Structures are given as structure tokens and as C-alpha cells.
Amino acid sequence: MKKIEAIIKPFKLEPVKEALTALNITGMTVSEVKGYGRQKGHKEMYRGAEYNVDFNPKLKIELILAAELVAEAVETIRSAANSGKIGDGKIFVLPVEDVMRVRTGERGMEAV
């Protein structure tokens, strides 16, 4: 099993969700996060005053998948989240040792 963590722009959530659903990947966790990478924030104006926004709003999508589905899921996320502009995000793939469903005690892929 593998865990995919994808940091994407908020407006790309629906395209990513629809693309993953088309692959029959249905379970995911989505969190609102803030961060920056190469884009390093930006300046905005509010009531005539300029101020720095150091962290940009992003969404973090987390998925647990069978190892054989990971390559296709990563490419699907990348293509659906790509706008071609700086700050499109990152995708991380991590190993998962075990998963347990709290309600039933099922373990491994049956719990996913």
C-alpha cells in the first residue's frame, strides 16, 4: 500500500476528484493548508495599503492505494491539477505499513 499526498490549488479540487472517480478511486481526505515554495507568496492591496501574503492557500489531498494503482493515480492527479503556472503543487508518494478500519477492525487493503 502507498499513501499519496497531493498539494494543489483550491480551484483544482473538482477536476482532480472527477478524474480520480473515473479511475474508481473513491476515498480521499481533503484538508485546507497554507504554504509556499518557489513562488514565495505575493503582495496584495487592501484599502490602499500594500501587504505581503507569505503563505498561499492550498488543498492537501490524501489517498491510500494499492501499490499497483499509484503510478496511474499520480499521473491523473498531475494532469488534472496542472494549470501550467507556478504554484500548481507537489505530489508525494509514501509507503504505508498497515491500515485498520476503526469500526470493524479490518486491516490492510480491506480497510481501505
List the CATH number of the domain containing 16: 3.30.70.120
Q: Global pTM?
A: 0.85
Q: Supply the range of the domain harboring residue 11.
A: 2-111
Q: Indicate the residue type of 109.
A: M
Domain count, the chain: 1
Phi, psi of 20 (to 5 degrees): -70, -40
For 83-98, write each residue's pLDDT tens digit.
Answer: 998 889 999 999 999 9
Rounded CA gap, 54 and 3, in Å? 28
For 42-61, write each residue's pLDDT tens digit.
Answer: 666 777 777 777 788 899 99
Query: What is the residue whose three cell numbers read 485498520?
Result: 100
